[in-house]
Amino acid sequence: MEDLIEACNEALLDIDPNSSGVKRRQIYEDIKFMQDSKGFDAPVESFKDGRKAFYRYTDLNFSINSQPLNEQEAQQLKESLLTLSRFKGMPQFDWVEEITARLEQTFNLKTDDNILSFEENPFLTGREYIGDIYNAIAGKKVLLITYKPFKTDKELLFEVHPYHLKQYNNRWFLFGLNNEYGNITNIALDRIQEISESKTKYITNTKIDFSDYFDDVIGVSVDDTQEPQKIVLKADDDLLPYITSKPIHGSQKIKKDEEETRIVLHLQLNYELESTIFSFGEKIEVLEPEALRTAMANRIKALNQKYSTCV
């Protein structure tokens, strides 16, 4: 046992020099797990030589590295693959269906139940580029992207160091360093006309942590020059349960008194925020800041002109 503890601690120190190692009790628990059918069902036996206890495999050819998945492990893996199956039909993700089929055949896990559904648009253009972009990000490859904005028929050519893919409102967006402008570019995949790999040396992302990059916005439009602002909304009482159970944003605070319900947010102002507020229709009003209130009023005026003949 002492030799085993020493070997484990040496291996841990190779991985993490600051490791405090493992204790005797942990080794005993690990051996029990190895012997258990829920673990590796390993043929481990103990024997004593004098006052020392030793452990060994009764089958000298046994190795946990060569053990197949048990049914529970395969089921857990399949559940994970079902989540990934939202990418089915996309280039570079054919392996998801292939592995799922092999697991079903090996462990008789076939099910006809459609358990999990995601909101998505299977007709969205640009989905075919997700695999190539994903591989470019993982492989740190620069991309040449031919892009066609909505507001012009002119095609643009970007050289982009791809960093992050994000889905919002059933659309996919690529964030990466634009060589021409030297800043982060937001590219909608449904406006991409063509993609190819560039021979330019890849510049690694060292400035942006995408795990919190979108914390101060709704959507994908981030303005690095804009600080989050206090936003105050007045909401009808019958809207409150919906906004409480599905907050507009993580910064949301609700202040309710006898006269009215106010929703306070801290966000950058952008188009997606306006659209989100607009989606609540007449049940919500922007009180501040004045710039957002004016922007909403202008959109309402434009909408009113379109429906003026109905009044």
Instruction: Specify whether 76 is located in the same domain as 47.
Output: no
Instruction: Give percent above pLDDT 90 in the chain.
Output: 51
Local confidence band at 89 (pLDDT 50, 70, 90 cut-offs): low
Token pair belonging to 174 = 């690529």
- Whether 216 is covered by a domain: the verdict is no
- Whether 117 is covered by a domain: the verdict is no
Q: What is the pLDDT of residue 214?
A: 97
Q: Residue 37: is its pLDDT beyond 80? A: no
Asked if 192 and 126 touch (Cβ cutoff 8 Å), the reply is: yes
How far is it, in rounded angstroms, from Cα 134 to Cα 140? 10
Reported as a single tens digit per residue, the pLDDT across 203-229 is 999 999 999 999 999 999 999 999 999
Q: Domain span at residue 89?
A: 71-107
Q: What is the pLDDT of residue 203?
A: 96
The DSSP H or E segment spanning 266 is strand 261-267
Q: Residue 90: is its pLDDT beyond 80? A: no
Higher pLDDT, 311 or 300: 300
User: Residue written as tokens 């002119």?
Assistant: 154
How far is it, in rounded angstroms, from Cα 151 to Cα 253? 37
Instruction: Specify whether 51 is located in the same domain as 79.
Output: no
How far is it, in rounded angstroms, from Cα 143 to Cα 139? 11
- Whether 209 is covered by a domain: the verdict is no
How far is it, in rounded angstroms, from Cα 292 to Cα 295? 5
- Whether 147 is covered by a domain: the verdict is yes
User: Residue written as tokens 């306070």?
Assistant: 264
What residues pair up with 261 in beta bridges, in sequence order? Answer: 235, 256
Count the domains in the chain. 4
CATH number at residue 183: 2.30.30
- Whether 21 is covered by a domain: the verdict is yes
Q: Residue 282: is its pLDDT beyond 60? A: yes
Reported as a single tens digit per residue, the pLDDT across 134-180 is 999 999 999 999 999 888 889 999 999 999 999 999 899 999 999 88
Instruction: Specify whether 31 is located in the same domain as 92.
Output: no
Last residue of a domain, one of 46, 66, 86: 66
State the DSSP code for 38. T
Among residues 226, 228, 306, 242, which one has the least CA distance to residue 276? 242
Q: Residue 66: is its pLDDT beyond 90? A: no
- Residues 234-240 have a mean pLDDT of 94
Instruction: Specify whether 90 is located in the same domain as 156.
Output: no
Last residue of a domain, one of 173, 197, 221: 197
- Residues 45-54 have a mean pLDDT of 81
Reported as a single tens digit per residue, the pLDDT across 95-120 is 667 777 776 776 666 666 667 677 77
